[in-house]
Structure 1
Amino acid sequence: MVKRKRKYGFARFALKLLLAIVLLLFVFILSVRIGIWGKLPNNNELSTFHYNRASEVYTADGVLIGKYYLNDQQPIPFKNIPEHVRNALTAIEDERFYEHSGIDYQSLLRVAIKTILMQDRSSGGGSTLTQQLAKNLYPRKDRKQTHLVVDKVKEMIIAQRLEDLFTKDEILTHYLNTVSFGGNTFGIESAALKFFNTTTSELTIEQAATLIGTLKATHSYNPRLFPKKSIERRNLVLQSMVNNGFLDAKEKDSLSAIPLKLNYREFEHDVGLAPYFREEVRKKLREWCAIQNKNGKNYNPYTSGLKVYTTLDSKMQQLAEESMAHHMASLQEKFEKSYGKNAPWLKNKGLISKLVKRTEPYQKLKKLGWDDTRIMDSLRKKRSMTLGDWSGEKTVKASTIDSVQHYMKFLNTGSLSMDPRTGAVKTWIGGINYKHFKYDHIAQSKRQVGSTFKPIVYTTALEAGIPPCTYFPAQEVAYENLKGWSPSNSNNKDEAYLNYSMEMALSHSVNTVAVKVLEKTGIDKVIEQAQKMGVYSELPKQPSLALGTGELYVSELATVYTSFVNNGKGAEPFYIESIRNQNDSILARFAPKEVKTDAFSRKTGEIMLEMMKSTIDQGTASRIRTTYNLKNDIAGKTGTTQNNKDAWFVAITPKLVHVSWVGLDNHEIGFKNTSLGQGANAALPLFALWYQKLNRDAAFNGITKARFPKTDPSVLRILDCEPIKRDGFFKRLFKNPKKKKVKKFRTKP
């Protein structure tokens, strides 16, 4: 009797305890539902949530080259998700997805028994895809264990609401569009592009299984970092598809035997094709969005899913970057070798100190009130850091000062190619490595242009009525009203007796003649002519202008040279054709700037083009023909500035104008010698190597095989004169070739 009472007493206690637990659980769930533990999204918020969509950048040939995003996310509709992708997901993550109503109680019970009773921590969390979607949409803010139960209950409640609002297919689509694949990559579309360079609709079964397999642990099963583990996980997904009737065993075996083949593409800002160009496009897109938003729109360059279609040619850009890397790596080696052990980045302590003081670490310590001695001592401390060069990146022990010395020696570059008729940019290289050198030498840098300015001087002279067969003495002159300034040449010891035609003087870049042509024409007229041709930077009103002491942007110089093959009209660079929304509806179109007034006559343009053809055929750029064996129709001009600080080359072809600059960001350092630093050696190969590649690709025949229009016979007759005339006997007899002529520079022609 006593035993029976005890038995009933224990049963009543157990029942009361169970009821108490159920009641507490009910109260707890109710408290979560009414928002005591934090507000839950209501049905209206859940039904109207918006994806953050990355904006995309496309080339003229339709290649996706970059994205702007907070999260790399490209949502897609259900119709773009193949059946085998959906099957792989449900098979491995939620095999009863189409049966439950947001919460899989059977799975929860299994997890509870294994976790609580059997202490099996690998049993999983029992979350359905709908619950995981809830977590994707409303990520957990607090990772503490004490909040885990609250978060789980919240996700269950949200999951049930999602099931009421959306169909199963819609829930699956939302999940695949929001789930993280690691590395700030969200959604199946972005993951497909990143790992396989394809779209979700084009994923094969094994590729889909690979991506779905990473969801269990995006780092541990990352196919790029851990290919072996990724394959094992992929094959487990394939087996789950067999278990759920989505694959037969024979097909699974065949797919499991396929090796992992990635086509990995980073969409990070620092890497990939045309990073300098993409940054410039980003700036323009931000400006456009700001203007639109002032007019009541709501565009965000990082979340609105805009599509920017540009003028860039992806293949031409790729070939240009390859040519740049090949040439600049070789040139860098020669450059460092030319200085040897006495290089300024090793010996010039003053310059090193000057550059260190420009660094962010120095500036931060200076703001804290540290004196220079203490700051420099701190910046000499070595630590582990990654330094890059043309052989790759290496992690070494180095100080901030070591890093400054390492990077201050690097030659940099800027090159731009455009369609001369429209100004459409085809290639844009702003520097040698965007990761280490953010400064864009096209959009941001102005440098002295050297002899590439001379065609403007000669154009002005022709427009002023000076015949191209006018002869100018090459003899060096000391201008007494310019403190004895005496421009010189470096090519002919016997030049004191020589008189050059304008064509010969330009093609061989004779400095003394260029100054005399400027003198005869007038500085003001030359500056006015430059502005007509597209120069907007302020130019020095000095005779040295003839030698290119004015500082211009690469883009300005490109515009000037387009005028020679665009009927006297300079075409400004333009690089965005349209901006569209996520559905490809056009939001804005952009067109080349229309130039109504010719900068010079058609006849002058033909004469100048013939003179610059001579530069290529027999002048300072003749290695185009001899070294690089280019037989194409090409005109152009080389340029080298004082102390070999800047090397330039401009190439004109019937369908392209290409401008290239090479030098150092530190103006204090130049090339050791002219033979290495002249435009023909340092800058010309960037064009020549690239054009060789274009010649080998039949896809570019329309460009490389194009011919200049036939020159008018009257122009050829005007240019038909001896290139050089030698002084007569008596003039030579009474002239001292070693003595400079002294005269005043005429400021007015």
Structure 2
Amino acid sequence: MKLAEIKTRLAPLLASFPASLPAPLRRGLSRLAARTARAGLTRPGTLRPTRRGLLFGLAAIPAALLLYVLVLIPFTPGISDIRKAKSEQPAQVLSADGKELAVFKWANRDWVPLKQISPHVVAALISTEDHRFYQHHGLDWRRIASAALHTFSGDRQGGSTITQQLARNLYPDEIGRAPTLTRKLKEAITALKIEALYTKDEILETYLNTVPFLYNAFGIEMAARTYFDRPARSLDVLQSATLIGMLKGNSYYNPVLNPERALDRRNTVLGQMVKRGKLDAARYEQLKKRPLRIDFERQTEPPGPAPHFAQQLRKWLIGWADRNGYDIYADGLVVHTTIDARLQAMATQAVAQQGNRLQAVANAAWAPRAGWAANKPLVQAFVRETPEYRTAVAAGTAPEEALRHLMADSAFLRALHQSKTRIQAGFLAIDPRNGEIRAWVGSRDYTQDAFDHVQQARRQPGSTFKPFVYGAAFDEGKTPDDTLVDQPVEIELAGGEVWRPSDEGRPTGRAMTLRDGLVYSRNTITAQLMQEVGPARVARLARNMGVRDSQLDVVPSLALGTSPVTLKEMVAAYGTIANAGDYIAPTMVTRIEDRRGNVLQVFRPARAEHALPAAATQTLLDVMRDVIDRGTGAGIRSRFGIRADVAGKTGTTQDNADGWFILMHPELVAGAWVGFNDSRITLRSDYWGQGAHSALPMVGDFYQRALRARIIDGRARFAEHEETHVFASLGTQLRGWFSQLFTRDKASETTTPRPAPRRPALPAQEAELPPPAGAASAVAADSDHDESSLALDRGETVIAVPPPDLNAGSAPVAPPPAPEPAPPPNLPPASPTPATPPAPAPAPTPTPTPTPTPAAPITPLAPTIITPAGQR
């Protein structure tokens, strides 16, 4: 018989081979069949085997399977892997001072030894899942044969032992879940390995500690706490039977969602215990009539003292472990971080206390019959954006009917109201000398909002972005004593639109130094300076200083912080100012050790990158000292009594949607952001909405605690830049003479003198920009306009929200003991001769606190005018 004819006649036989067999094995069986035909094992001209061929075929099938098993052995988990699975140790994260911050477990599990598990659990498990557990060695051949016969007869049954189930639980990726011959063989091989390595009690202990029970509960201990609020050692026979009954199908027999099915399955398990002699029949008759009595409580891992930091670290550590051949969930890594546990606790407390005060303001501003009225278009817009509304419309409900139905659902509206009006905050502190992160608070409460407002959230920074404009100007050679006139500014944008930045009061027409322009956060001065320096130069400087992940739109309105950025970027950039113009990338880890204490890798601070010349940086730093001494950040001195050498900047965006404050100390730079997850929700209070009153107290409280605890040195001063060339002193004097000469001439022509640079005054409000043509990020940013006057201009009803206790059920809300007064409508007159800014004193005295002056109403602007709002 020719080979081609043999292959043709063998085609039906080959088609009957199991489809799950690998291609190499199928090809091998094909060749074997061909050779048997040529060897005379089939009758000539037919596929009918001879007696010799039949015997040969019967022997060939098990031989082929045995060969395949031998081939699969290297592809199953090795003995070392099995040992590792039993002795796995999660990575431990420690603070710089040795306190535990987090433990990275792969599952929410508490491993308990077998002797601390109720014997009812073991009896129920063995009776139901594998009653010959102590007689076999991993594979129960009698059960396998029985399961095969039932399966062939149409009643599919499983034949897996407890050891085989353990193999699947431990190695789901290596073994798989597909119903194929390959998977069953891998499972059997692994089960034999486990039996060779473990005792029976060790197998039971491992199985009961790794089996899943829904709701992120792994192992019998977490299951006992989740469903019955007790430890595994205290489970009675009914509770044990309920949990073991879930193993056949966690979701199908879920006692929380499917109690009737769970009850029937529990009684089936009790019946199996009677059948195997583990339970008395009379006792069974009594027990099967009892209800489930579930005491459900979802178990969550404790968030730890720095949960947002830990989550960001976990992402980084997984990548490091993959590159270096480690498992963060099993290898017992010890990660030493840069977090200072004391500073972290102080930051968390400061955010919590100020957040509670502001929440009371928000509750009053958005009360159900006030800001949250059902007829408000904004509330209806929120409802239309919910999944419930979209689901109803997708199911065929008319949009208006779906809206009406949800607006009548009080529980739904209450939950929506709470989520939308929950005040949020972010806080970050970095050591500017090495870039090490010392404190990280991503939200007010990690359990309520796990979203990270330090690294994930991008919000408009408002006036906290202005130092980049002034830094670029000082780098070009401008000085703090250079002046610009506080006058209306019109800047033509692409598309023919005109940008007219404004401040709270009308322009004074007076000359103002650049120093006072930043100290009082004047938008008109900053916008003119931006035109002289150029948006491209400012954006480039901001990137060099640390704003490297967010996109910056190169448009004039960038000067007032219209491009959204992260708090982490802004604090890192201010760290560049505090570090004499050298940027150091923030770092989280100092070293990683193994479980025995051996150092695996040490992480040095990132290489410093020169971003701004030291002379320009020192000038900018000196001007930002004045922001704290007499400007918008004066509360640091007057309210918190901080006398250290510090500098900083506040920020507030349009309608008080975002409040910012960043403070620099030679040893620590810290910043806070305050707002709502939805920027359409604001505090609706011109007092509390400003960064000087929302974010500044968090930072001030933090620094006050850190200085009192002597964690940072209150006597430390920023490094002074000294010019080294021979004519430095002479050059300084000449520049001063020329500056005085030309400024005196210019001042003599000006009828109104500029403000005195040292006179204490309250911050002028900053304005916010609508987007210029083609620039989506130029949405309103820096805002210090009084919200009430703006609303009146728009014809809206204004609800005044006073600072004191606004919510009877909340913590009392009282204004600061010494609040910074609102900036006067007109800046105070100053002497015609520019004053040279004095050197900062080591211990500045508190700024006097004048009585707040009501903001002057703002004249409504023409429709073509874009009014950015400035911040303090």
Instruction: Return the match for 2:502 from 465, 488, 492.
Output: 488
Residues 510 and 752, structure 2, Cα contact 8 Å, conserved in 1: no
Instruction: Return the match for 1:499 from 483, 486, 511.
Output: 511
| Gap change, CA 1:476 and 1:65, over 3 Å in 2 | same
Separation in 1, partners of 2:634, 2:688: 16
Secondary structure at 2:661 match in 1 = strand
For 2:233, the equivalent position in structure 1 comes to 215
Instruction: Return the match for 1:336 from 359, 363, 387.
Output: 363
Deviation at 1:509, TM superposition (A): 1.0
Instruction: Return the match for 1:287 from 319, 334, 341.
Output: 319
Instruction: Return the match for 2:718 from 688, 692, 708.
Output: 708
The one-letter amino acid paired with 1:487 is: P
For 1:54, the equivalent position in structure 2 comes to 90
Separation in 2, partners of 1:666, 1:355: 10
For 1:273, the equivalent position in structure 2 comes to 305
| Residue 352, structure 1, aligned to residue 388, structure 2 | no
Deviation at 1:408, TM superposition (A): 0.5
The one-letter amino acid paired with 2:85 is: H
TM-score by length of 2: 0.55
Separation in 2, partners of 1:678, 1:214: 53
For 1:631, the equivalent position in structure 2 comes to 643
Separation in 2, partners of 1:64, 1:415: 20
Residues 425 and 442, structure 2, Cα contact 8 Å, conserved in 1: yes
As a proportion of its length, which structure holds more strand?
A: 1
Separation in 1, partners of 2:89, 2:383: 41
For 1:617, the equivalent position in structure 2 comes to 629
Deviation at 1:308, TM superposition (A): 2.8
Deviation at 1:330, TM superposition (A): 0.5
| Residue 570, structure 1, aligned to residue 583, structure 2 | yes
State the identity %.
26
Residues 384 and 403, structure 2, Cα contact 8 Å, conserved in 1: no
Deviation at 1:321, TM superposition (A): 0.7
| Gap change, CA 1:726 and 1:216, over 3 Å in 2 | farther
For 2:475, the equivalent position in structure 1 comes to 463
Which whole-Å deviations, capped at 9, do the CAs of 1:207-257 have from their partners, x for residues lacking one? xxxxx9973449999xxxxxxxxxxxxxxxxxxxxxxxxxxxxxxxxxxxx
Secondary structure at 1:322 match in 2 = helix
Which whole-Å deviations, capped at 9, do the CAs of 1:163-198 have from their partners, x for residues lacking one? 997899x97998899699x9958799x9xxx9xxxx
Residues 316 and 427, structure 1, Cα contact 8 Å, conserved in 2: yes
Instruction: Return the match for 2:103 from 67, 72, 77.
Output: 67
For 1:697, the equivalent position in structure 2 comes to 709
The one-letter amino acid paired with 1:534 is: G
Secondary structure at 2:649 match in 1 = strand
Counting only pairs closer than 5 Å after superposition, residues 174-573 of structure 1 correspond to structure 2 as: 184=217, 215-217=233-235, 268-269=300-301, 271-292=303-324, 297=325, 299-338=326-365, 343-347=370-374, 349-363=376-390, 371-372=398-399, 375-376=402-403, 379=406, 399-479=411-491, 483-490=497-504, 496-536=508-548, 537-573=550-586
Residues 455 and 608, structure 1, Cα contact 8 Å, conserved in 2: yes
Secondary structure at 2:343 match in 1 = helix
Separation in 1, partners of 2:534, 2:441: 36
Residues 94 and 335, structure 2, Cα contact 8 Å, conserved in 1: yes
The one-letter amino acid paired with 1:709 is: A
* Uncovered stretches (5+) of structure 2, i.e. residues with no partner: 1-75, 141-161, 164-192, 240-297, 755-825, 827-857, 867-872
Separation in 2, partners of 1:42, 1:563: 51
Deviation at 1:311, TM superposition (A): 1.2
Separation in 2, partners of 1:563, 1:556: 11
TM-score by length of 1: 0.63
Secondary structure at 2:85 match in 1 = coil
The one-letter amino acid paired with 1:329 is: N
Deviation at 1:485, TM superposition (A): 2.9
Residues 217 and 299, structure 2, Cα contact 8 Å, conserved in 1: no
Residues 351 and 427, structure 2, Cα contact 8 Å, conserved in 1: no
Separation in 1, partners of 2:417, 2:80: 55
| Gap change, CA 1:591 and 1:647, over 3 Å in 2 | same
Deviation at 1:75, TM superposition (A): 8.0
The one-letter amino acid paired with 2:670 is: H
Secondary structure at 1:416 match in 2 = strand
Which whole-Å deviations, capped at 9, do the CAs of 1:440-482 have from their partners, x for residues lacking one? 1112111111111111101100111122210111123344667
Counting only pairs closer than 5 Å after superposition, residues 70-109 of structure 1 correspond to structure 2 as: 70-72=106-108
Secondary structure at 2:459 match in 1 = strand
Secondary structure at 2:511 match in 1 = strand
Secondary structure at 2:582 match in 1 = coil
Secondary structure at 1:490 match in 2 = coil
Which whole-Å deviations, capped at 9, do the CAs of 1:622-661 have from their partners, x for residues lacking one? 0111111111221101111122111110100011111111
Separation in 1, partners of 2:442, 2:82: 45
Separation in 1, partners of 2:445, 2:375: 25
For 2:751, the equivalent position in structure 1 comes to 732
Secondary structure at 1:607 match in 2 = helix
Deviation at 1:606, TM superposition (A): 1.0
Deviation at 1:314, TM superposition (A): 1.5
Secondary structure at 2:553 match in 1 = coil
Deviation at 1:284, TM superposition (A): 1.8
The one-letter amino acid paired with 2:353 is: H
Moved more, 635-644 or 278-287: 278-287
| Gap change, CA 1:346 and 1:693, over 3 Å in 2 | farther
Deviation at 1:684, TM superposition (A): 0.5
Secondary structure at 1:660 match in 2 = strand
* Uncovered stretches (5+) of structure 1, i.e. residues with no partner: 1-40, 77-85, 94-123, 195-211, 222-265, 383-397
| Gap change, CA 1:502 and 1:645, over 3 Å in 2 | same
Separation in 2, partners of 1:620, 1:563: 22
| Gap change, CA 1:471 and 1:269, over 3 Å in 2 | farther
Deviation at 1:578, TM superposition (A): 3.3
Instruction: State the number of aligned residues.
Output: 558
Separation in 1, partners of 2:314, 2:237: 30
As a proportion of its length, which structure holds more helix?
A: 1
Secondary structure at 1:446 match in 2 = coil
The one-letter amino acid paired with 1:674 is: D
For 1:80, the equivalent position in structure 2 comes to none
